[in-house]
Amino acid sequence: MHAIKNWVKTVSFILVLTVSGWPAAALENLRPVLDITNGDNRLPLAQYVVMATLDPDGAMTAAQALTLPAERWRLAPQGLRFGYTADTVWLRFEATRHTTNPMAVLAERKSIDLFEVFQVDGEGLIRSLGRHGWASGPLKSAVGRNLSFPAIAINLPVGGPVTLLVRMHSSTALNPRFELLGTDRLLVEIRSASLLQGMASGFAAMLLIFALVTVLAVPRIEFLLFLAFAILSSLMAAYFTGLASSWFWPGSTRLTPLLGRFLAPLFAVVSLEFCRCLLGIDRSRRGLYGFMAVLRVVFVVQLLAVGLLPGHLAFRLSAMMSILVYPLFIVLLALATVARLKNARPAMVAWFFFIGAMVVQALYNTNLVMAAWVERYNLIIVLVGTLLQNGILGATIVRRAEVAFSSERIKRQSAEQQVAQAREQIVIAERMSNLATLVSSVSHELGTPLGIGVTLGSELCARSSQLAKQCQSGELTQAGFDEYLEMVRDSGELLENNMRRASELINGFKQLAVDQSRLQARELDVSHYLRQLVRSLQPRYKHSPNHLQASIADGLALLTVPGYLAQVLTNLINNAFDHGLLGLENGVVRLQAEWPDQAAARLPPGQRAIRLVVSDNGRGIPLELQARVFEQFFTTAADRGGTGLGLPIARGLMTEKLNGRLEMRSTPGQGTSFELLLHDLPPSLREA
């Protein structure tokens, strides 16, 4: 333990010496004047003698700054690091040129809120060269309008040095990175910045599209949070690369600083919730859930604080939270990995890269890290960390999406199978209901001829007994015997007719019942079959105020499944009585059957088809509902026991079982008609 303490003390001492020695070493290397000698120059302003003064009120003009006493000017801090300050800061330095091209550009690569450049000529005249930055409003620099980073053109005369003044202000960390670029170097920097912005925007767009597609396909809470995560990541990439201020909303003076203030704490809150859903942390894991609850409270407090505090204090708080609290997020993920939670390992790696990059950025902004490589590459570090985080988490979401898609597909297939089974059961139930109705109708129709037969039989028995008594008593006369013979002849004819009618009803019922139960394809005399069907339906509507009529052509024949045909027609006729003629009197439901026009039906030569129409002269269907009549479960008669499956089943049987089609036409107030075009069954449907 003592050796470990000594090792920590030694390392800390070396770090303190290193950090404290940087400013002194850097001061020795400062050069007095920016000397542009060729067009490929990139001269970091921090490497030259730059004087600085504070303007707490922000009211100082360039003329006042130029005439300040010498004691008001101090050597600017190492790396031009002013940290988080609400003050306006003025810089003064000298620049000279020894090239034929007078063009140079003063670029700012940290994107502070605002900076304005003034040039002082040899006679002391001050000229404003332009203003730029994240919150500069409409850009004043012609060069700056075409760049991917804030920059202002400077025209330096040949000869002695020229004094330049820079007025700057920022609600974020005021750690600008000014560089005086020659023309050739400017083109290189433009290409580099544009490439970086293009990579960031392309990756962000791809991530957004993937997240949106995932949410639309499987709207789960974890995918919704991933979409919010992707949106905030994209905004963060736009913020750090300068796309937000230079391309998205260049005319806004407040949106980019506002985005910078709330983006990090809001991203932390969303990331925490996304992590909870991704890892499946719930109340059953008390330790991790409690740890996450504490972090949630801290992040929410941070979000509220940055909204209430002044700009520079809000950004300072956000940076300190990044340094002190964000590493606890990694600790949470490490504990989740130890607990072997699903997706914990890739999540820890992903957020490790991003949080590490954000901590480096926060250390840089708070002047706790002053290494030159951090100053030069801190933006790339943040972008690389963001890309690695989004890439790893995106791959994790891809795996979860694949599992979710597979689960949803299995559920959908299972639901479709259940619907198909339910539909088949409904079809069978309707067929059995129609069969029961047929039995009731035939029983009712058989009552009359059988009743007549019983009455005639009883009458014959009584008259025969009376004739036998007359014979025995000798009272039988020729006239009485002739009367008896005439009665027997008439009764026999009447009995024969009624028994023949009963036989026809029974045979018709037998055929209809067989067709309803076996569902086999056969060559069908459609004309005879439809007449039997209509006869079987007549008793159902005998006491209805409306009527059923039939117009059936002779000689209609087709290879079809009679049971399905009877079910479809019965369904349509019942639908017309129950809905089309509801509440009306003297309405008519008409069944028509005929050969179709060969050309109108577009039938190839030699193929048979029959046109059937079930129509009524009732109320018709409202125009807004006509497109939905064949939707499953759509009904306007739910209060009367309607299921919304009658017409969908009828159309399904026509297209799937009978090789036909079913179309509907309706005129509100005039009635509705359903037209069926029935073809011979192809070989694939003959085994019904």
pLDDT tens digits along 291-318:
889 988 888 888 888 878 877 777 787 7
**pLDDT of 231 over the 60 cut:** yes
Give CA–CA dist 183/448, Å, rounded.
112
Give CA–CA dist 193/186, Å, rounded.
10
Lowest-confidence region among 23-27, 387-391, 544-548, 596-600: 23-27
Q: What is the pLDDT of residue 177?
A: 80
Residue type, 219: P
The tokens of 214 are what?
């995932």
Looking at the chain, the whole-number percentage of residues with pLDDT higher than 90 is: 4
Range of the domain at 137: 31-189
Q: How far is CA 675 from the centre of its chain?
A: 39
- Report which secondary-structure segment, H or E, holds 117: strand 114-120
Give CA–CA dist 358/232, Å, rounded.
15
The verdict on 163 and 211 lying in the same domain is no
Q: How confident is the model at residue 511 (pLDDT cuts 50, 70, 90)?
A: low
Q: What is the pLDDT of residue 613?
A: 92
Give CA–CA dist 364/374, Å, rounded.
7
Give CA–CA dist 536/8, Å, rounded.
101
Tell me the three state secondary structure of residue 581. Answer: coil
Q: What is the pLDDT of residues 69-125, one digit of tens each?
A: 988 899 888 778 788 888 899 999 888 766 666 677 888 877 677 889 999 877 778
> Is 343 inside a domain boundary?
yes
Q: How confident is the model at residue 673 (pLDDT cuts 50, 70, 90)?
A: very high
Over residues 184-204, mean pLDDT: 76
DSSP letter, residue 149: S
CATH (domain of 179): 2.60.40.2380
Give CA–CA dist 605/72, Å, rounded.
106
Q: What is the pLDDT of residue 1?
A: 45
Final residue in a domain of this structure, among 415, 437, 460: 415
Residue type, 373: W
> Is 477 inside a domain boundary?
no
Lowest-confidence region among 14-23, 53-62, 319-328: 14-23
Tell me the three state secondary structure of residue 152. Answer: strand
> Is 609 inside a domain boundary?
yes
Q: What is the pLDDT of residue 237?
A: 76
Give CA–CA dist 467/464, Å, rounded.
5
The domain tally of the chain equals 4
Q: Is the Cα dihedral 619, 622, 623, 629 positive or negative?
A: negative
Q: What is the pLDDT of residue 167?
A: 93
Give CA–CA dist 338/285, Å, rounded.
13
Across 83-87, 454-458, 474-478, 661-665, the highest mean pLDDT is recorded for 661-665
Q: What is the pLDDT of residue 24?
A: 32
Across 92-101, 124-133, 420-429, the highest mean pLDDT is recorded for 124-133
**pLDDT of 221 over the 80 cut:** yes
> Is 467 inside a domain boundary?
no
> Is 431 inside a domain boundary?
no
Q: How far is CA 236 from the centre of its chain?
A: 23
Lowest-confidence region among 213-222, 505-514, 652-661: 505-514
Considering the entire predicted model, what is its pTM?
A: 0.56
> Is 449 inside a domain boundary?
no
Give CA–CA dist 663/600, Å, rounded.
15
Q: What is the pLDDT of residue 490?
A: 72
The beta-strand segments (E) located in 66-113 are 74-75, 88-97, 103-108
Closest CA to 536 of 560, 575, 504: 504
Q: How confident is the model at residue 515 (pLDDT cuts 50, 70, 90)?
A: low
Q: What is the pLDDT of residue 646?
A: 75
Q: Which residues have a Cβ under 8 Å from the Cβ of 20 and sit 6 or more positions away?
A: none
Q: How confident is the model at residue 545 (pLDDT cuts 50, 70, 90)?
A: confident
**pLDDT of 8 over the 50 cut:** no
Final residue in a domain of this structure, among 359, 389, 415: 415
Lowest-confidence region among 73-82, 385-394, 485-494: 485-494
- Report which secondary-structure segment, H or E, holds 389: helix 372-473
Residue 626 · residue 619 · CB < 8 Å: no
Q: What is the pLDDT of residue 514?
A: 57
* Residue in the block written with tokens 């100082």: 60
Give CA–CA dist 207/226, Å, rounded.
10
The verdict on 246 and 164 lying in the same domain is no
**pLDDT of 282 over the 70 cut:** yes
The tokens of 266 are what?
């809001």
Q: How far is CA 77 from the centre of its chain?
A: 52
Q: What is the pLDDT of residue 642?
A: 66
Residue type, 8: V
**pLDDT of 661 over the 80 cut:** yes
Closest CA to 498 of 444, 441, 446: 446
- Report which secondary-structure segment, H or E, holds 363: helix 344-365
Final residue in a domain of this structure, among 400, 415, 430: 415
Over residues 426-445, mean pLDDT: 62
Residue 555 · residue 608 · CB < 8 Å: no
Burial 638-670 (b: 16+ CB within 10 A, else e): eeeebebbbbbbbbbbbeebbbbebeeebeeee
Q: What is the pLDDT of residue 137?
A: 55
The verdict on 294 and 349 lying in the same domain is yes
The verdict on 286 and 308 lying in the same domain is yes
> Is 428 inside a domain boundary?
no
Over residues 531-540, mean pLDDT: 79
Q: Which residues have a Cβ under 8 Å from the Cβ of 441 and sit 6 or more positions away?
A: 536, 537, 538, 539, 540
The verdict on 613 and 683 lying in the same domain is yes
Q: What is the pLDDT of residue 165?
A: 92
Q: What is the pLDDT of residue 384?
A: 82
Q: What is the pLDDT of residue 13?
A: 29
The verdict on 59 and 22 lying in the same domain is no
Higher pLDDT, 104 or 546: 546
**pLDDT of 31 over the 90 cut:** no
Residue type, 673: S
The verdict on 524 and 621 lying in the same domain is yes
Q: What is the pLDDT of residue 141?
A: 45
Closest CA to 279 of 438, 393, 369, 405: 393
Closest CA to 108 of 256, 306, 242, 286: 242
Closest CA to 84 of 313, 424, 286, 404: 313
Give CA–CA dist 485/478, Å, rounded.
11
Q: How confident is the model at residue 683 (pLDDT cuts 50, 70, 90)?
A: confident
Q: What is the pLDDT of residue 125?
A: 85
Q: How confident is the model at residue 35 (pLDDT cuts 50, 70, 90)?
A: low
Q: What is the pLDDT of residue 118?
A: 93
Lowest-confidence region among 299-313, 369-383, 424-438, 569-583: 424-438
The verdict on 349 and 382 lying in the same domain is yes
CA distances for 264 relative to 317, 322, 468, 671, angstroms? 11, 9, 119, 65
The verdict on 246 and 384 lying in the same domain is yes
Looking at the chain, the whole-number percentage of residues with pLDDT higher than 70 is: 77
Q: What is the pLDDT of residue 354?
A: 85
Give the phi and the psi of residue 466 in degrees, each rounded to 5: -65, -40
DSSP letter, residue 33: E
Over residues 487-515, mean pLDDT: 67
The verdict on 125 and 212 lying in the same domain is no
CA distances for 112 relative to 118, 263, 318, 359, angstroms? 17, 16, 17, 19
Q: Which residues have a Cβ under 8 Å from the Cβ of 672 and sit 6 or more positions away?
A: 576, 580, 615, 616, 618, 620, 621, 664, 665, 666
Q: What is the pLDDT of residue 4?
A: 42
CATH (domain of 624): 3.30.565.10
Over residues 151-177, mean pLDDT: 81
CA distances for 354 relative to 111, 253, 361, angstroms? 21, 28, 11
Q: What is the mean pLDDT of the chain?
A: 77
Over residues 264-291, mean pLDDT: 87
Give CA–CA dist 393/390, Å, rounded.
5
The verdict on 144 and 212 lying in the same domain is no
Closest CA to 111 of 170, 30, 192: 170
Give CA–CA dist 2/296, Å, rounded.
38
The verdict on 168 and 265 lying in the same domain is no
Over residues 527-548, mean pLDDT: 82
Q: 560 pairs with which residues across the strands?
A: 522
> Is 591 inside a domain boundary?
yes
Q: How many CA atoms lie within 13 A of 508 on its CB side?
A: 25
Over residues 371-400, mean pLDDT: 78
